[in-house]
Structure 1
Amino acid sequence: MRQGEWDDFTRHLRSRGLEVEGELGRGGMGVVFKARDTTLGRDVAVKAIAANLHGDARAAARFTTEMQTMAKLRHGSIVQVYQGEVSPGGVPYFVMEYAPGPTLAAALAATTERYPIQQVVEILAPIADALDYLRRRAVVHRDVKPANIILGPHGAMLTDFGISHISDASRVTQEGHLVGTMRYMAPEMFRPGDDGLAPEPTPASDNYAFALIALEMLTRTQLAQTMSDVAWRGPRPPDYLERVPASEVFARAPANEPAKRHPSARAFLDALERARPTSTRVIEAEPGRKRRPATLIAAAAGAALLAAGGGWLALRPALEWAGPEAPIAAAFPQLVGAGEGGEGAWGTTCAASEPEGAQRAKVSCTGPGVAFAVADYGSAEQRASAVPTEGFAQFRSSQCTFESGQLAGASTDSYAVVMPQPRDRFAILVAGPEAQRYRLSLPVC
């Protein structure tokens, strides 16, 4: 707004008992300010139509639709509208609940850390409930993205219904105009309807965007960044999704065909939580007994889940390695990183795991497509009795020697064991679709 328009607008708000304290953010449709409701003694947010849209009848209709849509919604995870009107100067605005806290977009921008599955589920659970509530009310948000999720003190909240769609309501979008944020739009939203209007959105398109947000939190990569613009506007190849954490869940959640996706946002989150892996196990044999292939295969399956679900470890600032894990960190600093909860080799996240059998300590590291565990047996003799190396090949470099082979009894080559020398008290299990390649490039020397 020009200064005179701004002065008139703030003077009008003061007449309504609202004192503007500052700008919170802006988007294509409007600007949001923080204000103090002096009558009720509470903080509120005021959204006014963007200055460049003053006098635009179509934009005003969309703005009014947003206001009316939000005013009808009553859900603890959806920002509530209190009132709305048009100022004497012709500026449409509405007053809504103030939700303190950064947006999820800001939180993602502040760190490169991957979120573990459990934390993704906990953060997004309120948003899943909000999306399912909208589905029951025949409302499609249409612009679900991290910037429209506020991480409030009492849980995440969904906001910005500026381009929402209500079933059986007149659409105010332009003919053939794509509405939404491109990198979170479902593939069907790029196909105009027979009437030439923007595609008809459905809850399935909201759920698609919701799944992309979860995927971005887990991998710190947007799916749109993994393919060309042409591919993004057409049937999207599944290659990348086959290598991500909880890949079996993401084989369905962002399916190209809406009917193949999870029926609700909550159903998707439930599936994601069920895919959360257990700890990695370095396989051992009981003293005096031969290892049974069936037992090894079952344990290997657990390792596969870990590789698929990389990022399950609690997201926290890296703490210097101490206690029984310290010798592992001292022997392999490039492998497990400088501290617990920090970054290990290949962008994994590492943390202490519960030792098993003859192990003194264990550190597990997980990331997209790969997982590994380093176990300390205390001595070469203990390691030899726990992890036999029949059939292993020996590899040499100018700095060290190590033996490596496929996990005995495994039906695939997705698991490998590495036995370093002279650090002969340690054993490393590598799991993932490219385990055979990773095992030969471990920084163990």
Structure 2
Amino acid sequence: MVSNTHSFISTLSERHGFTEISEIGRGGMGVVYRAFDEKLQRYVAVKQLSTELLDEETGLARFRAEMVTLGRISHSAVVKIHFAEVTENGDAYFVMDYVQGENLSTLIRRHREWGNRFTVAETVELLRPIAAALDFLHMRMDPPIIHRDIKPANILVPDSTASESRSLLTDFGISLAAEDTRLTSLSMMIGTERYFAPELVPGGENGPKDLAHSQPTVGSDNYALSLIAFEMLTLQSLKDTMSPNQWAESDRPFPKIAALGLNQKDMGDVDRIEQVLRKSLHPAPAYRFMTATAFIQALAQTGNRASWQRPPRPPQNAIANQNTRIPDVPTPSQESSSGFEFNKPTMITLSALAVGLLVILGAIGTFAFLNPAWQEPESAIADAFPKIISDKPDSPGWAGLECSAGVAGENEQARIVCSDSDLSITFADFGSQEDRDNSLDGAERKHWEVGT
């Protein structure tokens, strides 16, 4: 619950000179207001936290410390938090960017009303920035930050001119550092049940058995993102495909995606799409994709294949009983002795086979031309790091990082750079260990064993 609304609005006006304050969202975690900042001449969003999030153990001191950490987040797909305060009445709140647009929950609802499922391409376009933001929070922040409430309502879809990112992650009112244990002291599970990972089920097989509530993790954040993708593609929540008891079990059943349906443009690739979703929503965290970006990248490689593009497979017995034979081409002497003649249908058949073979060879050659493998000298680097570097240039490798040949530096024989908007990894070949050691400053070097 939150305290008196009128009192809180008055505090915002007196403290910060905010005007035009109006409520734009309310939930179990608090209330969100839009306000106009007279000093900066722009609108801001204010999140007033529910008092249940500030129990005796956590306290206001914990809130202030967490807001300092959240204030350090700087990512193009994360709504920026400006500052946090506590009123004289003990109301905790933070001020962040106001984004003109709508949230993903509204967008999904509109698609559902029209029965218009998102395509794989549309889903990837909207969720790729969120995946990058999650990997940034999980892997680049120190300590790592767990959002804990990944859901469509907390993903903003800005107007075309409102942001450089296609979508934005917001509402960190209940996030926590990875080592935070306050969830065990609460009498409720924090977050949104529809987007809970199975390991958060109390006493479940994939979660601790000695806690009232299992701890949210990087894996549970990523699982929630996969649930959103599932919902966009099928217009059904995974939770709604099973009974409440099944949802509460750690080993949740997984439906057949073909029975739920996809956008017609993707139905021809339903098996691969289901394979990716099954992996990302596996009951055991260890069997899921390692990062949110890896899941999105795997999903991006599916779809865009309508069901009518998949030719029907002939019955197995029809394949076994086929006895198609191309007649032997006789030599001139054989023609005279056997009486075999090149009639017109035979010539057409052989010509068609020859053309078909040329088309196949041409397609293979074109594919090889458009998708070349790494060439020397970069190929030696790619061969040394096959699990990180893509198998061909200008393609995604580990965690979706796009790998391409870089400009070799002084004393380097070759260089490959794998990067996205947030992370860049450079691989360089110096030819010999001696040249490498002479070229690099050893002060900040780390030694990596093969397989690390």
Structure 2 length as normaliser, TM-score? 0.58
Change (3 A) 1:268 1:220: same
* Counterpart for residue 142 of structure 1: 148
Is the deviation greater in 221-230 or in 234-243? 234-243
Q: How much has 1:67 moved relative to structure 2? A: 3.2
Structure 1 residue 152 corresponds to structure 2 residue 158: yes
Structure 1 residue 100 corresponds to structure 2 residue 100: yes
The one-letter amino acid of 1:28's match is G
Change (3 A) 1:233 1:13: same
SS at match of 2:99: coil
* Counterpart for residue 180 of structure 1: 191
* Counterpart for residue 119 of structure 2: 116
* Counterpart for residue 345 of structure 1: none
Change (3 A) 1:230 1:44: same
* Counterpart for residue 35 of structure 1: 35
The one-letter amino acid of 1:80's match is K
Change (3 A) 1:48 1:177: closer
The one-letter amino acid of 1:179's match is I
Q: Aligned to 1:130, which of 124, 128, 133?
A: 133
Change (3 A) 1:54 1:13: farther
Paired with 2:105 and 2:170, the residues of 1 have a C-alpha distance of: 13
Structure 1 residue 26 corresponds to structure 2 residue 26: yes
Which structure has the bigger radius of gyration? 2
Q: How much has 1:194 moved relative to structure 2? A: 4.2
Paired with 2:185 and 2:84, the residues of 1 have a C-alpha distance of: 25
Q: How much has 1:166 moved relative to structure 2? A: 1.0
* Counterpart for residue 242 of structure 2: 227
SS at match of 1:93: strand
SS at match of 1:215: helix
* Matched-pair contact (CA < 8 Å) for 1:187–1:236: yes
SS at match of 1:252: helix
Q: How much has 1:100 moved relative to structure 2? A: 1.7
Q: How much has 1:165 moved relative to structure 2? A: 2.7
Q: How much has 1:172 moved relative to structure 2? A: 4.7
* Counterpart for residue 238 of structure 1: 254
The one-letter amino acid of 1:274's match is Q
The one-letter amino acid of 1:33's match is Y
Q: How much has 1:14 moved relative to structure 2? A: 3.5
Paired with 2:2 and 2:173, the residues of 1 have a C-alpha distance of: 23
* Counterpart for residue 300 of structure 2: 273
Structure 1 residue 217 corresponds to structure 2 residue 232: yes
Paired with 1:9 and 1:94, the residues of 2 have a C-alpha distance of: 13
Show CA shifts across 1:4-54 (max 9, x none): 76146424433322224311101112111111111111111111134x759
Change (3 A) 1:46 1:215: same
The one-letter amino acid of 2:213's match is A
* Matched-pair contact (CA < 8 Å) for 2:2–2:49: no
Q: How much has 1:85 moved relative to structure 2? A: 1.1
Q: How much has 1:281 moved relative to structure 2? A: 3.5
* Counterpart for residue 385 of structure 2: none
Change (3 A) 1:29 1:177: closer
- Structure (1 or 2) with the greater strand fraction: 1
Paired with 1:15 and 1:43, the residues of 2 have a C-alpha distance of: 16
Change (3 A) 1:229 1:66: farther
Q: How much has 1:55 moved relative to structure 2? A: 8.6
Structure 1 residue 260 corresponds to structure 2 residue 287: yes
Paired with 2:126 and 2:45, the residues of 1 have a C-alpha distance of: 23
* Counterpart for residue 329 of structure 1: none
* Matched-pair contact (CA < 8 Å) for 1:29–1:63: no
Paired with 1:54 and 1:266, the residues of 2 have a C-alpha distance of: 30
The one-letter amino acid of 2:238's match is L
Show CA shifts across 1:229-280 (max 9, x none): 1111111112335756411111211001101111111111111111123354
Structure 1 length as normaliser, TM-score? 0.59
Count of residue pairs the alignment pairs up: 291
Paired with 1:210 and 1:6, the residues of 2 have a C-alpha distance of: 36
Change (3 A) 1:165 1:54: closer
Show CA shifts across 1:357-405 (max 9, x none): xxxxxxxxxxxxxxxxxxxxxxxxxxxxxxxxxxxxxxxxxxxxxxxxx
Is the deviation greater in 86-95 or in 74-83? 86-95
SS at match of 1:114: coil
* Matched-pair contact (CA < 8 Å) for 1:5–1:89: no
Show CA shifts across 1:275-305 (max 9, x none): 1233544869xx954999xx9xxx9xxxxxx
Paired with 1:2 and 1:265, the residues of 2 have a C-alpha distance of: 33
Q: Aligned to 1:168, which of 179, 186, 193?
A: 179
Change (3 A) 1:276 1:162: same
* Matched-pair contact (CA < 8 Å) for 2:47–2:173: no
* Matched-pair contact (CA < 8 Å) for 1:10–1:19: no
Show CA shifts across 1:170-228 (max 9, x none): 42543574322111111111034344242122211111111110110010011111111
Change (3 A) 1:60 1:3: closer
* Matched-pair contact (CA < 8 Å) for 1:29–1:59: no
In structure 1, stretches of 5+ residues that fail to align are 300-445
